[in-house]
Amino acid sequence: MSVTVGQMAPDFTVVNQRGENVTLSELRGRKVVLVFFPFAFSGLCTGEMCDLRDRRGEFDDDTVLLGISADPKHALRVFAEQEGLGFDLLSDFWPHGEVAQAYGVFLPERGMATRATFIIDREGVVAWAVVNGPGE
């Protein structure tokens, strides 16, 4: 079961594509859009991340956009550079899928997160959520 609207967002600390720690609770006071995606470089995921890149200007200035997948940081770095993504991609690689599991969107039989988005308000509460199946 995935995290639902009104719940506190599960806290986590993972590395971004540059190897820097990102801790969700340290972003309190700002809105966070947390986007789980299955794999870097796959067709649908590339399109989704590039759409977010292209629409970044539609977000409030105090909104932090974070993409997250079970890919290793090195793959995410190349993916972000290749696609010109100007936001952090977080590596949920090890322990494998731990953040996706906490949010209820990990598919253990496939070793990946399903496609899901959680908007987290300034107090750390999930304000909006959508979970889609693979390929949706």
Task: Name 112's Cβ contacts closer than 8 Å, sequence gap at least 6.
Answer: 38, 39, 69, 70, 97, 100, 106, 134
Length of the chain: 136
Residue 120 in tokens? 């987290």
Placement of tokens 């590339």 in the chain: 46
Amino acid at 38: P
φ/ψ (deg, to 5) at 101: -65, -45
Q: CA-to-CA distance for 75 and 21, rounded, in angstroms?
A: 16
Which residues are identified as catalytic?
45
